[in-house]
Amino acid sequence: MDCSNGKDETQNVRDVIRSAYGQIAKQGGSCCGPESCGGSSAEAVAGGVGYDDDELAGLPEGANMGLSCGNPTAMASLRPGEIVLDLGAGGGFDVFIAARKVGPTGKAIGVDMTPDMLDKARRNAESFRKSTGLGNVEFRLGEIEHLPVADASVDVVISNCVINLSPDKERVWREIVRVLKPGGRVSISDLALLQPLPDRVRESVQALVGCIAGAALVDDTRRMVREAGLVDATFEPKSDYIDQMATWSDPLYRDIAGKLPEGAKPSDFVTSLNITATKPNAEDGLQGE
Ligand SMILES: C[S@@+](CC[C@H](N)C(=O)[O-])C[C@H]1O[C@@H](n2cnc3c(N)ncnc32)[C@H](O)[C@@H]1O
């Protein structure tokens, strides 16, 4: 990407992402950024990454934008009364699923840096409140590198296909640890790399917005999680999500496949990655400090 307009690279990346996701919020989403998914519905995308019919039923219309790459609330074993924070909440898809699980004594908070996404999520929250009677969701404007959330105030951090978009992933992991209560849990789905991408893909803006070009290597993700001080971490790669994109004739998949060396396919490079981890209790001390 050409970042030679005087702004720093980090700000450029954020501007590109915010503008692309603002467009998606206004025009309707797809699993892979501004392009469509070759006719695949958001429901099919969600089903393909592990959501069941019960989770999808009763969501506000348009909350599922087909932007996910896993099912973090399913891994989180949410309990009534817990406070959940969703990083890069989009239209609020996982926030609403989490809100039902934590119930009226709990709370689900979504943070997103794109004002148009936030507007959409807040409209969805209103229809969620009307249809379920639950007023336990809140959406906040902010960057996941500078979370608008108090220290040690959250039981569970979830996130779905977002950290790959951050130009400062180390800082995101440190922020996660800051906002978690001691003993709090992390349950995150994201895209990650099995090996470095060829330059032609890495430099593609479409692949950046589509959650691929900015993805970290799985090994770097392990290191960042450890250095942030999280413990008991698990990392489960699921490359079948990437292979499914081939059957959707997805334009991003086709574009990336065309830029790979002959005989290689996107899932040789990219995987969906489920990450769980825990913030140590105060008496255990923080590792990595
Ligand atoms: C691929 S979408 C995922 C949305 C949602 N998690 C879902 O599964 O439907 C990425 C979202 O993350 C937001 N985002 C990207 N980078 C961000 C950052 N650095 N800080 C806050 N939000 C960010 C975008 O605005 C967008 O709404």
DSSP label at residue 210: T
DSSP label at residue 142: -
How much distance in Å is there from the Cα of 90 to the middle of ligand 1?
5
Looking at the domain assignment, is residue 59 inside a domain? yes
Neighbour tally for 80: CB within 10 Å: 10
Residue 173: which of 211, 147, 150 has the closest Cα? 147
Q: Are 145 and 166 a contacting pair, CB within 8 Å?
A: yes
Residue nearest to atom 11 of ligand 1 (CA): 88
Domain that holds residue 254: 9-283
Q: How many domains does the chain have?
A: 1
Looking at the domain assignment, is residue 155 inside a domain? yes
Query: Mutate which of 165, 191, 252, 272 to test ligand 1's pocket (most atoms within 8 Å of Cβ)?
Result: 165
Looking at the domain assignment, is residue 48 inside a domain? yes
Q: What is the domain-level CATH number for residue 267? A: 3.40.50.150
Q: What residue ranges line ligand 1, CB within 6 angstroms?
A: 14, 17, 21, 65, 67-68, 88-90, 93, 112-114, 117, 143-145, 160-162, 165-166, 211
Looking at the domain assignment, is residue 4 inside a domain? no
Q: How far apart are CA 108 and CA 102, in angstroms?
A: 8
What are 191's strand-pairing partners? 272
Residue pLDDT tens, the chain, 289 long: 444 455 788 889 999 999 999 999 998 644 444 344 444 588 888 888 889 988 998 899 989 998 999 999 999 999 999 999 999 999 999 999 999 999 999 999 999 999 999 999 999 999 999 999 999 999 999 999 999 999 999 999 999 999 999 999 999 999 999 999 999 999 999 999 999 999 999 999 989 999 999 999 999 999 999 999 999 999 999 988 888 777 766 777 888 888 899 999 899 999 999 999 999 997 775 554 4
- How does DSSP assign 69-128, residue by residue? SS-HHHHHT--TT-EEEEET-TTSHHHHHHHHHH-TTSEEEEEES-HHHHHHHHHHHHHH
